[in-house]
Amino acid sequence: MAGSLCGVWVDEVGRVFTTVATESGGREERLETLRPFAWLNAAPSTPLPAGWQIETLKGEGPFHQLAHAETLEAFTAYVRGERDGVSADALRPLESQFLLQRRERLYREMTFGQLRRCQLDIEVASPAGGFPDAARPDDRVLAIGLRSGGKNRLLVLDEATDAAEKKLLQEFGTALAESDPDVIEGHNLFKFDLDYLRQRSKRHKLPCAWGRYGQKAAFRSSKLKVAERWIDFTRCDLPGRAVVDTYLLVQIFDITTREMTSYGLKEAAIYFGITDEDSERTYLRGDEIQHVFAADRARFCSYLEDDLRETQGLADQLLPTYFEQARTFPTLLQEATLRGATSKIDLLFLEEYYHARQAVPSPPEVKPFEGGYTRSFQEGVFKHVLHFDVASLYPSLLLYIGRNPKNDTLGVFIPLLRRLREYRLKYKLLAKQAPGEEERAEAQARQTNFKILINSFYGYLGFSGARFGDGELAAEVTRRGRELLQQLIDEFAKHGCTILEADTDGIYLSSEKYFGEPDALLALVAPILPAGIELEHDGRYAAMWCYKAKNYALYDGKKVTLRGSALRSRGIEPYLKKLSARLINFLVGASPESPVPMLEDYRKRLAVREVPVAELAKSETLNQNPDAYEKLIAEGGKPRRASAEVALQMSPRPRMGERVSYYITPKTKGKTSDWQRARPLALHDPATAPYDADYYAEKLNDWLERYDTFLGVKPVAPPQAQGELGV
């Protein structure tokens, strides 16, 4: 651990401040130097200012000149100014330049357990009611919770005055300086906690001096793409520390599983097993917090401490992979959590090219190519289900083919992939055989990181922004993958298996004969695979419901797992979600209860509006800022969207990436479309703005029509809603 970097920051004049772990576990600050550099696509036609050095690089590539500057001021002026038609390609942030130049990594000799971590959560008061707004004078911070090493420290407001709040914020800065964490973790930390603290500190004319080296926090607007969605947030950078938002990490995690219905702290803690649904955890609604603060301080503090505990629990599970990425790539931990795989892999290649003084390519154009094998073979419910997949199919095929991307003139790609695969296998073995639990957990985190990394190499090839991409090589890999999967399907069928579903690298099949001995079936099929390609038995299920291509449910005797957007949509109304869950559990044998009685009960209660509106409300994530949407519509843009219209009715307006919940009011003259009748759930009024019972009854019919093949029940006419506005 001693000597490991725990923090790096480059100041405005190019000095490099570092924090290093000491033998005793302390932290020591040091000062280093940086020679900023950029790759150029041509030698400058006019002489560079003093202090610059230009090298002509080896090999072929558009960026064949490497320029180093003696000062950051000179570097910045050149890469931002006029350059006589010369393009400059410079790494950002500058901390990555420093790490790459030194072949250095953060936390190199440390374990995750040796990282200094601090969880942060705040509670605030909003006397005017509604959502807290730090810009309102009377709103204020009630408490700041800090948790380090499993121990809580609660900073609590003495009295409801500006002076007391100012004192509280000062105590927060002092507490951070005393504990000196490497990482600050929080749930929705960027969008709420840190931004709220910034605004209240500004009001009291206090500097946000929360970084190391006596430095202030830096805030800027940022975006993060999570699958098909963009999330807006106010990014906070603390010199020498990493800021980690578990709210974002949870969403990134859910890209592959798509099982989570909410990303809130309480729901996420239950999903990840940090808090049991039946536990005695303290829960408070947002509108209760300031009342409980005044009336029951012990309960208020218990609520805050539970939030801190759950935040730590989420980070315990989600952060180790990113910690290992910071140990692998020349990047900061915070950057590792906010950047995609392509930019990280680029760093590994650029490091080799920099030190070899080899010319660097530009990202090539990648033409569309056919993807992986995807096919659904059956519909209905099947028993005795086995799942087999090819371990790391695409990376394994890349190693089998053994060809580097066309523009990788240094030949880095395949050797690097092979080395990373060897690391992964080493730590995978350690995760099983290491003597201590902590050592096994550390090895598991490392093998998971390398698994993600080597699986990203194929995706990197086919991404148009990848500097060393190669669409033709990616297309060849997918072609061979499709051929290999078809060979496996044919071989399984020869042994009497019923093929249910195949997707990219895996096959689901039904076999009563081999259900109890999948390894015997594996031994019969595996010999057809090329050298270096391994088939694995990956799961056994009592039943599987095949709905349609890439949409199915699996039941292992304890838990039902859903796959596919048609079955896991987070936007579906809760009452329909409950019906679908009842249907799926019924079909796969997890429950004897048919959904039909529940369906009829909903019909009866809808007719008299006895179904709570919260069960009917739809929740959607905004994919556009409300202000931008409003401007678009004002200029004649289309289409109109219910969720966006609802956002315009809310105060304060939510931001892109946030979820809004709304319901549909009855039709009136001139208002028949959903977007015209959508209303925020929080503004529901059963007397003046009830929900449209007919609308939701018709959705029951739509649901039944979608699944009647499996139930054999036909839709009926919707009941007539009662009530003054039930038209």
pLDDT digits (tens, 9 = 90+) for 582-638: 999 999 999 999 999 999 999 999 999 999 999 999 998 888 889 989 999 999 888
Long-range Cβ contacts of 206-210 (<8 Å, 24+ apart): 206/166, 206/169, 206/170, 206/173, 208/173, 209/173, 210/172, 210/173, 210/176, 210/184, 210/238, 210/241
Q: Where are the alpha helices (DSSP H) in 258-296?
A: 265-271, 289-295
Of 564, 708, 586, nearest in space to 259 by CA:
564
Confidence bin at 80 (pLDDT 50/70/90): confident
- Same domain (yes/no): 596, 701: yes
In eight-state DSSP terms, residue 554 is E
The stretch 271-279 carries a mean pLDDT of 87
Whether 241 and 176 have beta carbons less than 8 Å apart is answered as no
- Cβ neighbours of 695 (radius 10 Å): 19
The residue-averaged pLDDT of 341-350 equals 93
- 372 pLDDT band (50/70/90 cuts)? confident
More confident residue, 396 or 127: 396
Residue type, 631: K
Question: Which residues make beta-bridge pairs with 156?
Answer: 143
- What's the whole-number mean pLDDT along residues 59-88? 85
The full length of the chain comes to: 727
Query: How many C-beta atoms surround the C-beta of residue 659 within 10 A?
Result: 15
Same domain for 233 and 203, yes or no, is yes
Cis peptide before 93 (omega within 30 of 0): yes
Say if residue 25 is in the same domain as residue 66. yes
Whether the pLDDT of residue 656 is over 60: the answer is yes
pLDDT at 538 over 80: yes
Tokens representing 15 are: 């000095």
CB neighbours of 42 closer than 8 A, spacing ≥ 6?
65, 85, 86, 87
pLDDT on residue 179: 95
In single-letter form, the type of residue at position 464 comes to S
The answer to whether the CB of 727 falls within 8 A of the CB of 693 is no
List 67's β-bridge partners, or say none: 38, 54
Q: Give the DSSP letter of residue 717.
A: P
CATH of residue 533's domain is 3.90.1600.10
What per-residue confidence (pLDDT) applies to 727? 28
For residue 73, tell me if it sits in a domain: yes
Q: Please give the mean pLDDT across all residues of the chain.
A: 91
Evaluate whether residue 487 is within a structural domain.
Answer: yes
Going by pLDDT thresholds of 50, 70 and 90, the confidence category of residue 536 is: very high
| C-alpha span between 371 and 369 (Å, rounded) | 6
% of the chain with per-residue pLDDT over 70:
97
Residue 541, strand partner residues: 385
User: Which of 318, 347, 379 is a domain's end point?
Assistant: 318
Same domain, 549 and 593: no
Same structural domain, 504 and 590: no
Q: Which residue, chain included where needed, has tokens 């990425």?
A: 325
Tens-digit pLDDT profile for residues 101-118: 999 999 999 999 999 999
In this structure, are 358 and 372 located in the same domain? no
CA quadruple 251, 257, 263, 265: dihedral sign: negative
Strands of 27-33's sheet in order across = 5-10, 15-21, 27-33
pLDDT the model gives residue 555:
95
For residue 436, the model assigns a pLDDT of 87
For strand 37-40 and strand 506-510, is the pairing parallel, antiparallel, or unpaired? unpaired
Weakest mean pLDDT among 41-55, 280-294, 376-390: 41-55
CB atoms within 10 A of CB 520: 11
226/245 Cα distance (integer angstroms): 14
* Residue 385 burial (10 A CB sphere; 0-12, 13-18, 19+): buried
Classify 608 as helix, strand or coil: coil
- What DSSP state is assigned to residue 529? S
Nearest alpha carbon to residue 148 among 123, 185, 111: 185
What are the structure tokens assigned to 540, written together?
A: 């056994």
pLDDT at residue 717 tops 60: no
Same domain, 337 and 458: yes
For residue 82, give Cα distances in angstroms to 55, 78, 424: 20, 7, 46
In this structure, how many other beta carbons lie within 10 angstroms of the beta carbon of residue 229?
A: 14
- Whether residue 357 is predicted with pLDDT greater than 90 in this model: the reply is yes
User: For residue 565, is pLDDT > 50?
Assistant: yes
Instruction: Count Cβ atoms within 10 A of the Cβ of residue 152 and give its class: 0-12 exposed, 13-18 middle, 19 or more buried.
Output: middle
Supply the CATH number for residue 653's domain.
1.10.132.60
Identify whether 726 is part of a domain. Answer: no
Is 720 part of any domain? no
Q: How many helices (H) and strands (E) does the chain have?
A: 23, 24
H-only helix segments in 329-436: 333-338, 341-356, 393-401, 413-433
Domain end point (choices 467, 487, 503): 467
Residue 722 has pLDDT above 60, yes or no: no
Same domain, 449 and 342: yes
List the CATH number of the domain containing 222.
3.30.420.10
**How far, in Å, CA of 26 to CA of 360, rounded?**
40
**Claim to verify: residue 535 and residue 578 sit in the same structural domain:** no
Please tell me whether residues 129 and 206 are part of one structural domain.
yes
| Rounded average pLDDT over 706-722 | 66
Q: Which of 60-74, 76-90, 298-312, 521-535 has the lowest mean pLDDT?
A: 76-90
Q: Which amino acid is at 125?
A: A
Do strands 183-186 and 117-125 pair parallel, antiparallel, or not at all (unpaired)?
parallel
Q: How do beta strands 242-245 and 183-186 pair?
A: parallel
Confidence band for 489, pLDDT divided at 50, 70 and 90: very high
Which residue type is seen at 347?
Answer: L
Residues 636 and 554 in one domain: no
- Is the residue at 323 inside a domain? no
Q: Does residue 725 form part of some domain?
A: no
Residue 717 lies in a domain: no
What's the total number of domains in the chain? 5
199-229 pLDDT tens trace:
999 999 999 999 999 999 999 999 998 877 8
The answer on pLDDT for 426 being more than 50 is yes
The H-or-E segment that residue 33 falls in is strand 27-33
Contacts of 726 (CB under 8 A, 6+ apart): 609, 666, 690, 692, 693, 694, 720
Give the mean pLDDT of 139-151. Answer: 96
Task: For residues 333-361, give the mean pLDDT.
Answer: 95
pLDDT, residue 725, reads 35
Strand stretches in 210-263, DSSP E: 218-226, 229-237, 242-245
Residue with tokens 């290999």: 484
CA 290, CA 292: separation in Å to the nearest integer?
Answer: 6
Q: What is the mean pLDDT of residues 315-335?
A: 95
Instruction: Please give the residue range of the domain that contains residue 450.
Output: 329-362+407-467
Question: How confident is the model at residue 718, as a pLDDT?
Answer: 47
User: 321 near 112, Cβ under 8 Å?
Assistant: no
- The answer to whether residue 83 scores a pLDDT higher than 70 is no
Residue 46 has pLDDT above 80, yes or no: no
Number of neighbours of residue 279 by Cβ within 10 angstroms: 11
Please report which helix (H) or strand (E) contains residue 266, including its range.
helix 265-271
Beta-bridge mates of residue 546: 380, 552
Collapse the DSSP code of 217 into the 3-class scheme (helix H, G, I; strand E, B; otherwise coil) and give the result.
coil
- Does the pLDDT of residue 77 top 90, yes or no? no
User: Is the separation of the CB atoms in 535 and 388 below 8 Å?
Assistant: yes
Residue 33 lies in a domain: yes
127 close to 103: Cβ distance less than 8 angstroms? no
Amino acid 202: pLDDT? 96
Is the Cα torsion angle 230, 235, 239, 241 positive or negative in sign?
Answer: negative
Can you list the positions of beta strands (E) in 511-559? 535-548, 551-555
Could you tell me which residue, 338 or 126, shows the higher pLDDT? 338
Residue type, 620: E
Element (H, E) at 483: helix 471-494
Q: Which of 103, 131, 158 is the last residue of a domain?
A: 103
Say whether both 232 and 178 belong to one domain.
yes
The pLDDT-based confidence of 640 (bands split at 50, 70, 90) is very high
